[in-house]
C-alpha cells in the first residue's frame, strides 16, 4: 500500500540524513511525499534536509505545508521559524516561535530562538537608523551580526554591500553583489549596487547600464532612478567642461566644473578629478590661490592623486612658496620615481635654498633676466637713494637702516655685475665657498667710489645742514 511504501522511503531518508548524505535523504523524502502527500512529518523531514543543504526558501515551503497539514506539529512550526530567521524575516519567525510556546510554554528551544528573532529585529532597526545618519560603518557592523543569524538573507547582504560602496570599499561591495546576481540575476538591488560601485569608481557609462537594468527589473526603484539621473548629469557636465577647456574657453570650463561639483558630493573619485580639472582651468585664469585650494580638495578626496600634487606644486612654485612645493614634489617622487619628477624636485629644492638667502635682484629692484646695463642703472639709482650722506640729518635709527640698505645694494651689485659670481649665484651656489667676496671684508663705499669714479665724476654732495643735492654733468 502507498502509506507503507512511503514509510519505507522515509526510513531510508532517515538513514541517509544520519549519515549526512543530505541529497540522497532529500530524494527519499520526496519519494515518500509522492507516495503519501498527506503526511506532515514527511514535509518536516524534507524541510530539515533542505535546511542542511542551505536551500532555505524551499525548506520554508515544506515546513509551511507540514503545519498546514498538522497545526499541532511543533517541529514544523520551529523549522518554519528557523527558515524565516535564515531568510531575515524576524517578525514572521517570532510568530512561529510564539505558536510553539502556545502549544508548549516550557519549550526552551522556542524561547531561545524567539530571543534571537527579537535581537535580529533590533539589529535591523539600528542599521536603518545608522543609514539615515549616514553612519555606514554602523550599518556594516549590524549587518555582519545579522547575517551570522540570517545567512541566506539577500536583503541584509545588499544593505551591507550598498554601505561598503558608500564607504569606498568597492571590491568587497562588488563581490557581495556578484554573489547574489549569480543566484538571482534579476535582483534589482544587486544590480543597483554593482552600478553604484562602478559609478563611484568613475566608470560612469557602465554604471548607467546597471542602473537602467535595475529599473527594468523594478521600475519603482527610487535609489537606482536617482543614481541614474546623477550619473548622467555628472557625465554630461564634466564632458561639457572638458570640451570648453579644449576650445581654450577657460572661463566656461571653470563654471561647468563648478556646476558638476554640485551634483553629487558623495562621488569622491569623480569629484577629485573635477577639482583638479577646475584647478587647471583656474591656473589658466591666474586664480592661483583658488588653484591651490582646488588641488588641496582633490588630494583630500584622493591622497594618491599625482596630477593634483603636481598642479599644486607648480602653483606653489609660481607663488614662491618653495617649502610647500618641495613637500609636494617629494610626495610625487616617492610615489613615482621618474627622472622628470626628480628634476622637478631638484629645481624646487634649489629655489628653496635660493629663497633663504638675500635676493640680490629684489635688492636692486630688477628682474632675474636683467641686462648688464639695467643692473648698472638700478645700482646707480639705489646707491644714490640710500647713500649715508643723503640721510645725514635723519634720526640715528633711519641712518642705521639706510646704511644697511646701502651696503646691501653694493653687495648685490658686486655679485650681479660679475659674470662668474652671477652664474654661481643664479645656480644657487654659496659665493663664500670658493673665493667669492665675504660680507666681513666688504666695503660698500669702495664699490660706490669705483662705480662713480670719485666725487667729481657726475655728481657732488653738499653736506651743509639738511642740504643735499646731486649735480649731474
CATH, domain range 259-355: 1.25.40.10
Q: Say yes or no: do domains 259-355 and 360-430+442-450 share a fold.
A: no
pLDDT in tens, 266-277: 888 899 999 999
For 252-259, which contacts have Cβ atoms below 8 Å and span 24 or more sequence positions?
253/277, 253/281, 254/278, 254/281, 254/282, 254/285, 254/287, 257/281
**Residue 174 pLDDT > 90:** yes
CATH class of 2-183: mainly alpha
Average pLDDT over residues 459-468: 40
Evaluate whether 440 touches 428 at the Cβ level (below 8 Å): no
6-65: per-residue pLDDT in tens? Answer: 999 999 999 999 999 999 999 999 999 999 999 999 999 999 999 999 999 999 999 999
State what percent of residues in the chain have pLDDT above 90.
70
What's the CA gap between 227 and 196, in Å, rounded?
A: 8
Mean pLDDT score of the chain: 89
Question: Which 8-state DSSP code applies to residue 304?
Answer: T
Classify residue 289 as exposed, middle or buried by CB count within 10 Å of its CB (0-12, 13-18, 19+): exposed
Q: How far apart are CA 202 and CA 196, in angstroms?
A: 10
Query: From CA 88, how far away is CA 94, in angstroms rounded?
Result: 11
Cβ(178)–Cβ(194) below 8 Å: yes
What is the C-alpha separation between 212 and 387, in angstroms, rounded? 80
Report the pLDDT value the prediction gives residue 459, as an integer from 0 to 100. 45
Where does the pLDDT of residue 453 fall: very low under 50, low under 70, confident under 90, or very high at 90 and above? Answer: low
Cell of 317: 612654485
Angle between helices 2-18 and 40-52 (to 10 degrees): 30
pLDDT for residue 407: 87
Q: How many CB atoms lie within 10 A of CB 327?
A: 15
**Average pLDDT for residues 388-400, to the nearest whole number?**
83
CATH code given to domain 360-430+442-450: 1.10.287.110
Percent of the chain whose predicted confidence (pLDDT) is above 70: 92
Inter-helix orientation angle 444-452/372-386, to 10°: 120
For residue 470, the model assigns a pLDDT of: 38
CB contact at 8 A, 167 and 139: no
pLDDT at 428 over 60: yes
Alpha carbon separation from 202 to 181, 223, 308 (Å, rounded): 22, 18, 17
Contact 468, 462 (CB under 8 A): yes
Q: Provide CB contacts within 8 A for 135, sequence distance 6+.
A: none
Count other Cβ atoms within 10 Å, centred on residue 23: 10
Give the span between the Cα atoms of 162 and 254, in whole angstroms. 33
pLDDT band at 126 (very low <50, low <70, confident <90, very high): very high
> Could you say which DSSP state residue 140 is in?
H
pLDDT at residue 205 tops 80: yes
Structural domain boundaries of the chain? 2-183, 259-355, 360-430+442-450
Instruction: Express each pLDDT in 261-320 by its tens digit.
Output: 999 988 888 999 999 999 999 999 999 999 999 999 999 999 999 999 999 999 999 998
Amino acid at each position: 500500500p502507498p502509506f507503507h511504501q512511503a514509510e519505507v522511503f522515509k526510513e531510508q531518508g532517515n538513514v541517509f540524513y544520519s549519515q549526512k548524505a543530505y541529497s540522497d535523504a532529500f530524494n527519499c523524502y520526496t519519494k515518500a511525499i509522492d507516495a503519501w502527500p498527506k503526511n506532515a512529518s514527511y514535509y518536516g523531514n524534507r524541510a530539515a534536509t533542505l535546511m542542511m543543504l542551505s536551500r532555505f526558501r524551499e525548506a520554508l515551503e515544506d515546513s509551511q505545508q507540514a503545519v498546514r497539514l498538522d497545526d499541532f506539529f511543533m517541529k514544523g512550526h520551529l523549522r518554519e521559524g528557523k527558515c524565516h530567521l535564515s531568510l531575515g524575516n524576524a517578525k514572521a519567525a517570532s510568530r512561529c516561535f510564539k505558536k510553539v510556546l502556545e502549544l508548549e510554554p516550557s519549550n526552551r528551544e522556542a524561547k531561545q530562538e524567539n530571543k534571537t528573532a527579537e535581537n535580529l529585529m533590533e539589529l535591523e532597526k539600528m542599521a536603518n537608523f545608522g543609514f539615515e545618519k549616514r553612519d555606514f560603518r554602523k550599518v556594516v557592523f549590524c549587518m555582519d551580526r545579522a547575517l551570522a543569524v540570517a545567512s541566506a538573507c539577500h536583503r541584509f547582504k545588499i544593505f551591507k554591500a550598498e554601505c561598503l560602496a558608500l564607504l569606498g570599499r568597492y571590491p568587497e561591495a562588488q563581490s557581495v553583489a556578484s554573489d547574489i546576481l549569480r543566484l538571482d540575476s534579476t535582483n534589482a538591488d544587486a544590480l543597483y549596487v554593482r552600478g553604484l560601485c562602478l559609478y563611484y569608481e568613475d566608470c560612469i557609462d557602465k554604471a548607467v547600464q546597471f542602473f537602467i537594468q535595475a529599473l527594468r527589473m523594478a521600475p519603482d526603484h527610487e535609489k537606482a532612478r536617482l543614481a541614474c539621473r546623477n550619473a548622467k548629469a555628472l557625465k554630461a557636465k564634466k564632458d561639457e567642461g572638458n570640451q570648453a577647456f579644449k576650445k581654450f574657453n577657460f572661463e566656461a570650463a571653470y563654471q561647468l566644473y563648478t556646476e558638476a561639483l554640485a551634483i553629487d558630493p558623495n562621488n569622491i573619485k569623480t569629484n577629485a578629478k573635477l577639482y583638479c580639472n577646475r584647478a587647471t582651468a583656474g591656473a589658466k585664469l591666474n586664480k592661483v590661490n583658488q588653484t591651490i585650494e582646488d588641488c588641496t580638495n582633490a588630494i583630500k578626496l584622493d591622497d594618491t592623486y599625482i596630477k593634483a600634487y603636481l598642479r599644486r606644486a607648480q602653483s606653489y612654485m609660481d607663488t614662491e612658496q618653495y617649502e610647500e612645493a618641495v613637500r609636494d614634489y617629494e610626495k610625487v617622487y616617492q610615489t613615482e620615481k621618474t627622472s622628470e619628477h626628480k628634476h622637478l624636485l631638484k629645481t624646487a629644492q634649489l629655489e628653496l635654498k635660493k629663497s633663504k638667502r638675500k635676493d640680490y635682484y629684489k635688492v636692486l629692484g630688477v628682474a632675474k633676466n636683467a641686462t648688464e646695463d639695467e643692473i648698472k642703472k638700478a645700482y646707480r639709482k639705489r646707491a644714490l637713494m640710500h647713500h649715508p650722506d643723503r640721510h645725514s640729518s635723519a634720526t640715528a635709527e633711519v641712518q642705521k637702516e639706510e646704511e644697511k640698505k646701502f651696503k646691501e645694494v653694493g653687495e648685490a651689485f658686486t655679485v650681479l655685475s660679475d659674470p662668474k659670481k652671477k652664474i654661481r649665484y643664479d645656480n644657487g651656489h654659496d659665493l663664500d665657498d670658493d673665493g667669492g667676496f665675504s660680507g666681513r671684508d666688504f666695503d660698500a663705499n669702495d664699490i660706490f667710489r669705483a662705480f662713480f669714479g670719485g666725487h667729481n665724476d657726475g655728481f657732488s654732495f653738499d653736506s651743509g645742514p639738511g642740504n643735499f643735492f646731486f649735480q649731474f654733468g
